[in-house]
Amino acid sequence: MGALIKICGIRRNEDADYINEAKPDYAGFIFWDKSFRYVDLETALRLRAKIDPCIKTVAVFVDESRERIIETVKSGAVSVVQLHGSEDEIYIRKLKEELPDNTKIWKAYKVRNAEDIAAAEASAADEILLDNGYGTGECFDHRLLGDGSGLGRRFILAGGMRPDNIAEAIKKFSPYMIDISSGVETDKYKDKDKIRRAVDACRSCR
């Protein structure tokens, strides 16, 4: 039992400081300009330089051009690409061929029914992320997961995660990783104490 943890939506110098203190496994930058958590490449590079090298960074894109994604990865800002839009299998396979070696691709799926989970299981992405939507802070219907063992591959659990429900989710569904953003925010800004508690909740289950 146990899960890794990603803190997503890093956008300020303070956020990087909080991350360095709490030491999650991953930190995420949002490159979708419709999100209030959006950062440009210059900001991401500055924050990456502040974040402890042992913490891997992830770029979150929504229906972005492959050219921009490749540029972002080659800049050194991130080593993982998270696709959160309508990217299909052809897109994912082409992107895999074009990205630098050792770059991982995660694909997020909005879960509404068993068919969505089946589509996630069949994905060509390196990891799959099961979510409710675009940073809604709400859970999808977790009953669709059963106890998590029925899925044919490991998965990242997102949507509605909070410091006080992470341990229960890990116990019930055995996810590979917890992805959390709004659950560690207060008034839409990252909260140092909530980040620490979320990371501690994951660590306590290992």
Q: What residues are labeled active site? A: 8, 131
The answer to whether residues 62 and 91 touch, using CB atoms and an 8 Å cutoff, is no
The two three-digit tokens of residue 131, written as one number: 């979510």
- What is the 3 state secondary structure string of the chain? CCCEEEEECCCCHHHHHHHHHHCCCEEEEECCCCCCCECCHHHHHHHHHHCCCCCEEEEEECCCCHHHHHHHHHCCCCCEEEECCCCCHHHHHHHHHHCCCCCEEEEEEECCCHHHHHHHHCCCCCEEEEECCCCCCCCCCHHHHCCCCCCCCCEEEECCCCCCCHHHHHHHHCCCEEEECHHHEECCEECHHHHHHHHHHHHHCC
Beta-carbon neighbour count of residue 128 at 10 Å? 22
